[in-house]
Structure 1
Amino acid sequence: MINQTILINIFTIYIRISSALNTNEDSKLNFTGLGFKYGHNVEEHNVITEDGYILKLYHIPGNDRRPVLLVHGIIDSSDTFIIRGNGSLAITLVNRGYDIWAINTRGNRCSKLHEYLNPNDGNFWNFSFHEMGYYDLPATIDYILERTNQKQLTAIGHSQGNTLFYVLGSTRPEYNEKIKVMIALAPICFLHNVKPPVSTLLELLPTVGNLLQTFGMEEVFSDEAVYSGVIKSLCNQKEVGYEVCARGVFFAIGGSDSSEFEPEFLPVVVSRYPTSTSRKNGVHVAQVALRRSFSQYDYGPMRNIAVYNTIVPPLYDLGKVKMRVVLFVGRNDGMSSIRDTELLRDRLPNVEYRLLEHKKLNHLDHVWGRNMDQYLFPHILSVLKKYN
């Protein structure tokens, strides 16, 4: 039988050949390289959280009186805001004078360092979106405000990236005063009304999570994992990649919009997406959906008593999220449904709700769509102008 090492070597060679055949330059550039290519110097900063995680924070300097923090979604990174080059949100905003800061939350490929834990240690991955909101955001916000000498900043979150602010505002309410406005692109909070295949995936996640835990696999979508390389190689195949990966996965989950996600763009995306997160993070998202409750992580009754002093995990009190939140909702979003975003709207005390007109606007278009300068960015710029 061919042993595992030989298989890994075969896949590694295959992946490298596939990458070499990919001629799209942007797929080979990181955030810093893309910033330079499109006319801007990028600074790299390290932010250390209260619990010891070391986060990579990218900064594209602009007017430091107008800092904007960009927060990516699940299994994503800061690259999501710049991979469209001159058509990306990061470049669009810095070209208009905003001071851009792009976080990488704990565990993704840019933020896999800790003061004393090693990513090979399962304890490193003992986090979900709760810790990202409770630790990563405060450390990053304070770091930016200290360096810009400002008392407030503006934030833009995509998908789970805005979920973190609901965690922050409800568990550390003093940070509400540090946010001028939080623009929530494709808002994720409640998941009561998702449909297949998303609902099916969420139903399976706890079982998959338990299986992974049995095998000691606390990190998922690692760049070093054989299956991640195979996925990237498959998606880069010209004949089948777009049908399988774009239409079969991205469109099926996030909503279909082929005019905004062309075949030539797919290699740029799959060169950095998905990236790593914790098994626990995926399970926590599933719990929110299956329990129909936006609450903290459910460890089970006995451990919940030890952790929370209650059998069930506490709810996040959205009434404490006093920061101004502007919800940007797409009509074709397979993950962030209109009904779920209306539930969120009705529970936030300081909110604006914008159901955008473009009928095909889906979950991924907010960051990857090639014509967002027409359909989305004017709305973002109007909010920024209003509150800055």
Structure 2
Amino acid sequence: MWASPSLWLTVTIIIIHQIGCISSEDLPEDATLDSIGLATKYGHPPTQYDVFTEDGYILTLYRLRGKGSIPILLAHGYLDSSDTWLLRGNTSLAITLANRGHDVWLANARGNRYSRRHKYLNPDTDPAFWKFTFHDMGYYDLPAIIDLILNETSAKNLTAIGHSVGNTIFYVLGSERPEYNSKINVMIALAPIAFMHNTGPPFSIIIASYPIISALINQLGIYDFLGDNTTIGITVHTLCSIPIIGYTVCANGVVFPLAGFDITELEPNFFRTVISHFPAGTSSMNALHLLQVGYRKTFAQYDHGSETNQKIYNSSEPPVYRLDRVTMPIALFAAANDGFSSLADVEILRRKLPNVVYYLLNPRLVCNHIDYVWGRTVSNYLYPYMNIVLNRYNPL
């Protein structure tokens, strides 16, 4: 008889404890701090806000107060959290912007470690809590966050910076709730994600395996995907933080093959800080929606199957997002070594968006998908180009 996953996890953790590899005392200090602790350590104690969405979710939003008249909203990527903008300390994007005097706001999408709350649903016991995808983040989360920020600051609009799926949700917003286009004076899209027609292996292999992955997830009844309290989430945080072994197995074996190899920008000791914060959790339905985009080669709403689609959308096929409605000014930042956001796919997005005001192919040829937020010297090869856009749309 096979042992249960929880038993294997227990045995694994006991073994690791025995060899003394997971003591928090051995971890870098920043690995043990949350967003409040990180922002405070680097000179900007944040204000925390609860954001209530139309469909009942309660999100955590942080503000690093500044004198800038136009607030800047940072939206994290897939499986990530507000922590990601703070992990590099004084050279992280959030702290860099705050040090310059900008009014910086850090979002947390539904389902991650800081936004596991709902008016009526318990994420630990109610599967209905996890019935969401990036569509809901764009349709419900962003409007609630944007409205709160504009109400608090009395600003007419804000600057948005999104990483990966953190900019995908703005395309959903502009398409499905076009009245919000005017509330964003520019959206800086780092590692743009909308189309995944041209990804290479191993991600293309994962996309091609979508039917198998979908069936497996549904059969096993997995709802909370890579959350802090899940078996696999605990395993990742624990095993990948082991010195040398964790970097070899997790960084070289998983992260770099998927995101693109750029070893000098994600050094082993810092990786232990990263892996203590990432992944931060999402829904398995969200994971499947992203795979659908690549598998179906269409940037569209979630495909429930023709029968359910007919009930929900009044069509056997899910509606395609109308990118021609996304009229907010958008700056696209692409990289040749990005394993998730290929240049060919960014070019498709560039042609379909009606108001691209800036485009950059990063001059660092090995810049990958994660360098935008975790890169050791990102202030050299990214920030100067971001400043071109910020100086135009959000001058201090």
TM-score in terms of structure 1 length:
0.97
3-state SS of the aligned residue for 1:201? helix
Q: How does 1:251-262 map to 2 (within 5 A)?
A: 251-262=256-267
- The residue aligned with 1:61 is 65
Report Cα offsets for 1:225-281 as digits up to 9, x if no partner. 222222222212223221211111111001111111111111111101112111111
3-state SS of the aligned residue for 1:40? coil
Q: How does 1:163-202 map to 2 (within 5 A)?
A: 163-202=168-207
Report Cα offsets for 1:302-353 as digits up to 9, x if no partner. 1111000011111100000000000000111111000100000000000022
- The residue aligned with 2:364 is 358
C-alpha displacement at 1:213, in angstroms? Answer: 1.7
**What is the one-letter code of the residue matched to 1:79?**
D
Partner of residue 383 from structure 2, selected from 368, 377, 388: 377
Q: What is the percent sequence identity of the aligned residues? A: 49
3-state SS of the aligned residue for 1:217? coil
Partner of residue 287 from structure 1, selected from 292, 306, 322: 292
Structure 1 gaps of 5+ residues are none
| Counterpart check, 1:108 vs 2:108 | no
Structure 2 gaps of 5+ residues are none
Partner of residue 128 from structure 1, selected from 133, 155, 158: 133
Residue range with higher mean Cα deviation, 224-233 or 13-22 = 13-22
3-state SS of the aligned residue for 1:95? helix
3-state SS of the aligned residue for 1:76? coil
How many equivalent residue pairs?
A: 388
Q: How does 1:233-252 map to 2 (within 5 A)?
A: 233-252=238-257
- The residue aligned with 2:32 is 28
Partner of residue 334 from structure 1, selected from 329, 333, 339: 339
Question: 2:82, 2:266 → 1: CA distance?
Answer: 19
Q: Note closer, same or farther for the CA distance 1:210–1:324 as it changes in structure 2 (3 Å cut).
A: same
TM-score in terms of structure 2 length:
0.95
- The residue aligned with 1:271 is 276
Report Cα offsets for 1:85-128 as digits up to 9, x if no partner. 00100000001111110100000011000000110211000000
**What is the one-letter code of the residue matched to 1:52?**
G
Quick check: 1:64–1:148 contact (8 Å CA) kept in 2? no
Q: How does 1:29-178 map to 2 (within 5 A)?
A: 29-119=33-123, 120-178=125-183
Question: 2:40, 2:158 → 1: CA distance?
Answer: 24
Quick check: 2:309–2:318 contact (8 Å CA) kept in 1? yes
Quick check: 2:27–2:273 contact (8 Å CA) kept in 1? no
Question: 2:12, 2:234 → 1: CA distance?
Answer: 7
Question: 2:13, 2:159 → 1: CA distance?
Answer: 42
| Counterpart check, 1:368 vs 2:371 | no
3-state SS of the aligned residue for 2:103? strand
C-alpha displacement at 1:2, in angstroms? Answer: 9.5
Question: 2:144, 2:7 → 1: CA distance?
Answer: 43
Q: What's the RMSD between the two structures over aligned residues?
A: 1.6
Residue range with higher mean Cα deviation, 300-309 or 204-213 = 204-213
